[in-house]
Chain A
Amino acid sequence: AQSVAQPEDQVNVAEGNPLTVKCTYSVSGNPYLFWYVQYPNRGLQFLLKYITGDNLVKGSYGFEAEFNKSQTSFHLKKPSALVSDSALYFCAVRDYNTDKLIFGTGTRLQVFP
């Protein structure tokens, strides 16, 4: 069965510092991986996805993610955090057989001024 894990419930970063939100996956076959962000009182917004190709994927709002097959990871990164990046971040994998998205439990990112 496909699954993703987000090992950190919360990540705290100072504004201007680089940030990393971790995600590991378990799939049979090729992984199709996604990152979403949820701001307070809003729905989930798509950030980026990995389907195939370059291991470094660039997405919205200056975010990028690095796909690492040997470590089965898809960590979300940003070189310089902003206070406005504070939100809940979800990693997800598309189930190969059913085409459904399977979400991680979410990581709350807090960026301090």
Chain B
Amino acid sequence: DADVTQTPRNRITKTGKRIMLECSQTKGHDRMYWYRQDPGLGLRLIYYSFDVKDINKGEISDGYSVSRQAQAKFSLSLESAIPNQTALYFCATSDLSGKYNEQFFGPGTRLTVL
């Protein structure tokens, strides 16, 4: 969905490096999410934010941190990358006003940690 953008789209880094993945959205949604996708495991939630002052851990937050700089921006950081963080990372948004609304996903960032 072009309304949710992620940068970079691909990144190769080395073990121990700090890396930041960025997500921006023009949908005006309050809620933003970070997921990682691994083959055979589906998508797992890392962190989510219901507004700029609300940050929550997901099921696999260890080794990650996030920053909600504005309603439209939600960044994911790996303070010291390790090889098992090699995965496809997705940002998503949803509308606070509709409790049962679907989430809209960005195109993903493919991260490789050597």
Contacts and interface: CB of A to CB of B under 8 A. Distances in A.
Interface of A: 9, 32, 34, 36, 41-46, 49, 51, 90, 94, 98-106
Contacts of A45: 1, 105
Interface residues of B, number: 25
A106 B42 contact: yes
B107 A42 contact: yes
B74 interface: no
Interface of B: 1, 4, 31, 33, 35, 40-45, 48, 56, 58, 90, 92, 99-100, 102-108
A49 B42 contact: no
A44 B43 CA distance: 10
B4 A34 contact: no
Contacts of B31: 99
Contacts of A90: 42-43
Contacts of A101: 33, 43, 45, 103
Contact of B42 (A34, A94, A98, A105): A105
A45 B44 CA distance: 16
A103 B42 CA distance: 6
26 contacts: A32-B100, A36-B105, A41-B107, A43-B1, A43-B105, A43-B108, A45-B1, A46-B102, A46-B104, A49-B100, A49-B102, A90-B42, A94-B100, A98-B56, A99-B31, A99-B99, A100-B48, A100-B58, A101-B33, A101-B45, A101-B103, A103-B42, A103-B43, A103-B44, A104-B42, A106-B42
